[in-house]
Structure 1
Amino acid sequence: MKKKKTNYLNSKLLYKIVALFFAILLFAYVNSSHLSSTRQQNNDAGFMSNKAVTMTVPLKINIDSDKYFVSGYPEEVKVKITGPTAMVVATENVRNFEVYADLNGLSLGDHTVKLKTTGLNDELTVSVVPAHVNVKISKKKHVVLPIQVRFDANQIAKNYAAGTAYASQQTAEITGSKQDIKRIDSVVADIQLPSKTQKTYTRSVLLKAIDKNGHLLDVNIYPATVKVTVPVYEALASKKVNIDLIASGAGVAGKKYSFSSETKTVEVKGTKKALADLTTLKVPISIMGIVNNQVKTIQINPSINGITQVNPKVIEVKIVVTDSSDKEDKPATKKDKDKVAENN
């Protein structure tokens, strides 16, 4: 009886152990299924969630660029793209789309054009800022013009002088509307020198096309930049030279002008190269509106490269005004020649 009771107890314990084992397996299975389902939901949510990005992209102009020149539009615009996260991220990374203004078929003149996009998925929401641009369509013209280098000579240190500044190339190709091309006065490369410059200075400079009033013109310039060099030399050499008083400007009709000054020579300082061939310094005297004899105080401002100082800087000039004779002012007419022939 005792042995049967022991077997019974052992059998009951075994059943409990087996039941516990299956209960653990069932618990593990349920938790694993729940975790897998949660991960799948999270992945689906990540793919289906929306994202918005704003990008700056170039604006393309669709027109026959061989015939027409377009001005007034921005080179870049902002694009806001909203949609599924994965799609937006891919679009931002690849950027295989365009924002453009279609000008084909429009007449010459000013227009307001709506911007369009191409290459974007239909599931994406797109907004362009600005949505419209103002453009001006003109007949295209192309010219080649010389480059003028400009700098402030006052930035050169004392006892130093600048040589002839030069650019890496002498001309630039200008493309623009016929109206703007006609208005071009010069193509300039303005180089900013450091204060008290004592040595040759070189920098890359942006080219500008300006009108006679110095206003910038909306044209395309190639190349856009050039390398500019301003040679700077020590200028301690000095030399005495004669002055040559010359008329400047248009005088009064029928008047003749002569000049004289007690100052006959001046001392100039500069580079040895600038002084080598200098024997006379021309001093211009303005005669505009002068009808009577007078004495003027003239400031000498040498325009010769390499000349840094002139002493004296100011001289007194006497201007004598006389009437021109008819014979000097008027060429002989055919009638006059005939009279001379008759007298002979």
Structure 2
Amino acid sequence: MDRLIENRWVMRIIALFLALMLYASVNIESDSSSNQSQSPFFSSSTTDKATVTEVPVVTYFDQENLVVTGIPEYVKVNLEGDRSALTKARQTKDFEIYADLNNLSIGTHQVRLKYKNIPGNLTATINPSVITVTIEEKVAKDFQVEVDLLNEDKLEEGYTPDQPIVNPNSVRVTASQNIIDQISSVKAVVNLEEGTETINQESRITVYDKDGRILAVEVEPSVVDVTVPIKSPSKSLPFKINREGELGKGLSISSIDPEVKEITVFGPLDVIDELQFIDGLSINLNTITKDTVLEIDVPIPEGANKVTPEKLKINVDVDEQEEKSFKAQSIKPVGLSNGKIIDFIDPDSGKIDITILGASSVIKDIDASDIELYINLSDISDGEHDIDVFVNSPQNITWELQKKKVKVKISSD
């Protein structure tokens, strides 16, 4: 033994072994100390807590025959566990909170909410965890749909809504009998703001109780079609029918009788207020050989929206032409300036003959007092002038004058 101790190689080996042991001992203590000091950090990085809000509640029950009330739309879920699993659960919300009512009878019950699809390394607490639900038999009832018209005061001046048309005009509401009894109205809403023509829109059905609170019920259909005619300002106006062409020889018009006496124009107030009559209606006489019913388009005045009727039917009756003569009809001067004197030169009597032509039914009752001959002397200077003779007469006749022009002399007092 002494020899071994005295052997320097043995001592060197023992010293090396002791040094290695000492080094290992120091490092193990250092690692242990380091692990102990860092353990709280690691613990917090792998385990955490979080609250997930607005988690929907799924309900399992006989939805075809039963109605359930008292189920909250959302709940809070407190999760605790592995941080990575917790983060994923918060982001995806792929777990489910549910109430299983399949085995419960009609009535009121205390039900504990449950969860599924939550990872095993997480624990979950639901808030609220227990709910009170009422299970009732499902009842269906039909209700007429009312229409709420919004912003009627924002229609343009003079525009008014007519009776709304709803299709379908009734809907079926399904709920518990208790809820059905609370229903006061079933409504669709239409916004009229700045409407100037018929409004057609789809409108969602809303069900209200007597206090105006919205009731969450099943409605079929939940959306209806609503039509609201918008009546624009209107004005009824007379109209003028112009005649184009001529009837065939030997024919005269006995009557032109439109089916209506006035045309209604719709449009902005500032447009229709200026209108006095409807012009632009005309019939072509060239093609008429017998009693005829014509249908012509009614023109829409500039700036107006529409007219009623859009087409006008006109009964045109014709007859064989006859004639009637009136001798020495006086010619009336009109438009003569103050201080001027007229003398008829040719004819010096200031009278000419006129023959009227027309259907027998038209001319038979016309006498001399119904025929007026006149000349227009507006802006005529002193001197002799040949002036056109004009005729005022009942309608649907033509005429032949002894003279189409007369010679007059204008002089000053």
Q: Give the structure-1-normalised TM-score.
A: 0.48
Larger Rg: 2
Q: Give the structure-2-normalised TM-score.
A: 0.41
